Amino acid sequence: MSKISALQKARSKYVPKLPDILKQCGPFVTIQEGAATKSVADQKAIKALYPDTYGLPVLTFAPGQKGPRAVQKVAVILSGGQAPGGHNVIAGLFDALKALNPNNELFGFLGGPSGLLEDKYLNISAELVDQYRNTGGFDMICSGRTKLETEEQFAKVAQTCKKHGITAVVIIGGDDSNTNACSLAQYLLTKKTGIQVIGCPKTIDGDLKNEWIEVSFGFDTATKVYSELIGNIMRDANSARKYWHFIKLMGRSASHIALECALQTHPNACLISEEIAEKNISLQEIVEKLTKLVVKRAENGMNFGVVLIPEGLIEFIPEIKLLITQLNDLLAKNKKHFEALTEIDRKIDFVAGKLQGESATVFAALPDSIKAQLLSDRDPHGNVQVSRIETEKLLIEMIERRLARINARRKNKAPVKFSTLAHFFGYEGRCSAPSNFDADYCYSLGYTAAALLGAGKTGYMASVRNISRSADKWLPGGIPLTMMMNIEHRHGKDVPVIRKALVELTARPFRE
């Protein structure tokens, strides 16, 4: 049996579409500069932190003079969670760099930002790129979640670049990774290294978007894959008529994925974290509402249904949010003692003994499995790893408890049946082969990044706009990274970050 299926072979031959301007003149563009920009908020503070990249204009492309440009050696990294189309960004970048000058070289640093720090890389060749065109995953050079944020780390990156004569770094990542790209660009300017930095908007979560970045790549494919799976489950539920399916969907913070899948599939219920937070809805109220739905459908003879749950929900439920904040503080203050406890039961008892007020009551009421998950390791950014918290099972268990009380009172009526299945759709969607949209969009983003490098730009994110139209009408260009930034309070400190886009309750998708 051949290792590559006929479908994969056919898929690898797909030729991604480019916007007209890039199709006509390749990466040889003339840069057109818009007016000076400002950050989305906290202008004074952001300007002070990024004096050399603050206020840069938005860039658009016009046809430029063809002819070889100065030789460049470019480093590329994939940062954070996988998203369909990452390999096509690299393919677009590679093809455009070679078009700018056949002697250009592309270094793929391995395992995300840590590859740059530890000088682990491979030379990206045409043969290698050809193996990965239109494929899912990030396995060509792999990814990682190391943060690039200290002076010491920036100095190491500069050292790695100097060692290989690298003239530019392309960071393909989400809001945190592009925040790091912004700081790295400023550092390299301050040190007068001449090394350029360009970011690319990646994340299936869809929360790296704004007026200029219409969508992050991977969102389109992941939501299509999840929607197909959800649709299959809905058909099964409707055929067997005996299970309630509780499906948790990825999306660390924002509920864009759950909302988009709900719009595509019309489940019986879909929770949206942003609405829960905005309307201050408690866990008890969520359970009450879902229980009512189960009872109502049972009374119509339908002991089945589908509920979508965004992965980040737990952190948006007001009383759990407070609990998590207190747990973070408590674990930070008692780190040594806590880590010395080897058994999870003792960790739970230790924390329960220290929590106070409402948080103590909330923690006590949670099933032990969820308590343990809330105490598990934080990610490198200090966040609770929501993908490991089984919110779908928590809701099932709480609804079961509530139904047991209701059934005990339903003397002359049949008890409400509630057979459940819990699912988590996450990893299986984010490494799928890219949709045609993501294949084209990613290739165009990589190509755009190379055009920006060819024009000598730094501190920009590659952007391709007008994406609701066909690819020929897309508008490539560059958006200053500082423009998307503001100051936020994270883990006890005020820090500059790219503003995350959450679901807006007044916008059309949610209203729909």
- The Cα–Cα gap between 204 and 254 comes to 11
Q: Residues touching ligand FBP: how many (CB under 6 A)?
A: 15
Maximum separation of any 2 CA atoms in the chain, in Å: 85
Q: Which of 116, 204, 462, 501 is in the footprint of ligand FBP by CB under 6 A?
A: 204
Q: Which of 80, 85, 92, 111 is in the footprint of ligand FBP by CB under 6 A?
A: 80
Residue 258 exposed, middle or buried by CB count within 10 Å (0-12, 13-18, 19+): buried
Half-sphere exposure of 49 (CA within 13 A, CB side): 21
- The Cα–Cα gap between 176 and 381 comes to 9
Residue 38 exposed, middle or buried by CB count within 10 Å (0-12, 13-18, 19+): middle
Of 509, 490, 503, 393, the residue nearest 179 (C-alpha) = 490
Q: x/- contact string, 248-287, with ligand FBP (CB under 6 A)? A: --xxx-----------------------------------
- Segment near ligand FBP (CB under 6 A), from 68-76, 201-209, 287-295, 450-458? 201-209
CA distance readout (Å), 111 to 119, 134, 145, 318, 375 = 11, 20, 8, 36, 27
- Segment near ligand FBP (CB under 6 A), from 69-77, 78-86, 389-397, 405-413? 78-86
Q: Which of 386, 394, 450, 481 is in the footprint of ligand FBP by CB under 6 A?
A: 386
For position 387 contacting ligand FBP by CB under 6 A, the verdict is: yes
Q: Which of 220, 274, 311, 397 is in the footprint of ligand FBP by CB under 6 A?
A: 311
Closest CB 444 distance from ligand FBP, rounded Å: 19
Closest CB 38 distance from ligand FBP, rounded Å: 26
Which of positions 354-383 make contact with ligand FBP (CB under 6 A)? none
Question: Which 3 state secondary structure label does DSSP give 368?
Answer: helix
Q: Closest CB to ligand FBP among 19 and 251?
A: 251
Which of positions 483-512 make contact with ligand FBP (CB under 6 A)? none
**349 assigned to active site:** no
Region of 165 (left: φ > 0; alpha: ψ -120 to 50; beta: rest) is left
Q: Closest CB to ligand FBP among 21 and 485?
A: 485
For position 174 contacting ligand FBP by CB under 6 A, the verdict is: yes
For residue 268, give the DSSP letter: S
For position 430 contacting ligand FBP by CB under 6 A, the verdict is: yes
Closest CB 148 distance from ligand FBP, rounded Å: 14
Closest CB 8 distance from ligand FBP, rounded Å: 23
Closest CB 300 distance from ligand FBP, rounded Å: 35
Closest CB 80 distance from ligand FBP, rounded Å: 3
Q: Which of 81, 477, 478, 496 is in the footprint of ligand FBP by CB under 6 A?
A: 81
Q: Which helix (H) or strand (E) holds 461?
A: strand 460-465
- Written as six digits, the tokens of 475 are 């508008």
Half-sphere exposure of 94 (CA within 13 A, CB side): 20
Compute the C-alpha angle 391/395/397, nearest 5°.
115
Closest CB 503 distance from ligand FBP, rounded Å: 14
- The Cα–Cα gap between 28 and 67 comes to 8
Q: Are 111 and 175 in contact (CB under 8 A)?
A: no
**3-class SS letters over 29-41:** EEEEECCCCCCCC
The one catalytic residue in 95, 175, 205, 438 is 205
Q: Closest CB to ligand FBP among 147 and 430?
A: 430
For position 203 contacting ligand FBP by CB under 6 A, the verdict is: yes
Of 277, 280, 279, the residue nearest 253 (C-alpha) = 277
Of 463, 437, 441, the residue nearest 451 (C-alpha) = 463
Q: Closest CB to ligand FBP among 81 and 113?
A: 81
Of 317, 424, 314, 422, the residue nearest 370 (C-alpha) = 314
- Segment near ligand FBP (CB under 6 A), from 6-14, 79-87, 403-411, 412-420? 79-87
Closest CB 431 distance from ligand FBP, rounded Å: 10
- Segment near ligand FBP (CB under 6 A), from 200-208, 292-300, 345-353, 482-490? 200-208
Look up tokens 């989305």; give the residue: 40
Q: Closest CB to ligand FBP among 147 and 465?
A: 147
Instruction: Point out which residues bind ligand FBP (CB under 6 A).
Output: 80-81, 83, 145, 174, 203-205, 250-252, 311, 386-387, 430
Mind telling me the catalytic residues? 205
